[in-house]
Amino acid sequence: MDSRVMALGIRDLKFRYAAGSAWVVDVPALDLEPGEQMLLTGGSGRGKSTLLNLIAGLIDPVEGRVFVGGTDIHSLHGAARDLHRGRTIGVIFQTFNLLHGFSAVENVMTAMMFSTIPRREHRARAQQLLAHLGIDRPDANPDRLSVGQQQRVAVARATACDPVLVLADEPTASLDPENAVTAMDLIQAICREKNAALLCVSHDPSMKDRFERQASLEELALGEAAPMPGAGTGRRG
């Protein structure tokens, strides 16, 4: 991938639920380089998750563009957008959202179903990744794993297809402090390893020390995101 292509590029992104109401999301510009990690803070409200949904192309903005891996995700429609999301974005949820009735390795392999990874490599790669993340029982049902291990399975699933961008939505909120530390170490390490940009949404104060780059949604609206050097050149669709 061209190093000049941003992992994430947001331009003039605006969203509100009803015409005439206040903007829930108003981000003039935000760029993340490949491998860059950023913390998005702020009190509880719908704004942060809405932003993540906009970036993942799960809801459409009123205005603006979101480039993921150089492609405006909102310019894609239907199956093409779903495929682009599956191949370029990994999502880690607060509640893990593991698939019930699927083993740990099956959860990871399900993510690969929609990738370009050759099918015969799916199981081996999933097992390898789970082992790398410290899961020694890849065939166990996640219900039978500890909460900390469930989060690792979720991390493995989010990073299985080598995404350019990982979105983490309150990834530690369901974990005790000890597990939270481990989980964040893991998430940040694997993203670095895979050169995936990480956008982490959290209101956990202990996160502050982990990220060089931080902003609240309000700061983003005011234009905090002074583009990093070389930013702002993300291709416009």
Binding segment for another protein (CB under 8 A), chosen from 2-10, 11-19, 102-110, 179-187, is: 102-110
Under rule CB under 8 A, residue 99 binds another protein: yes
By CB under 8 A, the residues from 30 to 49 that bind another protein are: 49
Burial of 35 (0-12, 13-18, 19+ CB in 10 A): middle
Yes or no: say if 212 and 33 are a contact pair by the CB < 8 Å rule.
no
Nearer to another protein, 115 or 231 (CB): 115
Q: Rounded distance, CA 175 to CA 213, Å? A: 23
Q: How near is the Cβ of 3 to another protein at its closest, in Å?
A: 25
For residue 229, the minimal CB distance to another protein (Å) is 32
3-state secondary structure of 97: coil
CA 179 to chain centre: 20
Q: Which amino acid is at 58?
A: L
H or E stretch at 152 = helix 147-159
Judged by CB under 8 A, the stretch of 22-30, 55-63, 128-136, 225-233 that binds another protein is 55-63
- What are the residues binding another protein (CB under 8 A)? 49-50, 53, 56, 58-59, 78-79, 82-83, 85-87, 91, 93-95, 97, 99-102, 106, 109-115, 119-120, 122-123, 157
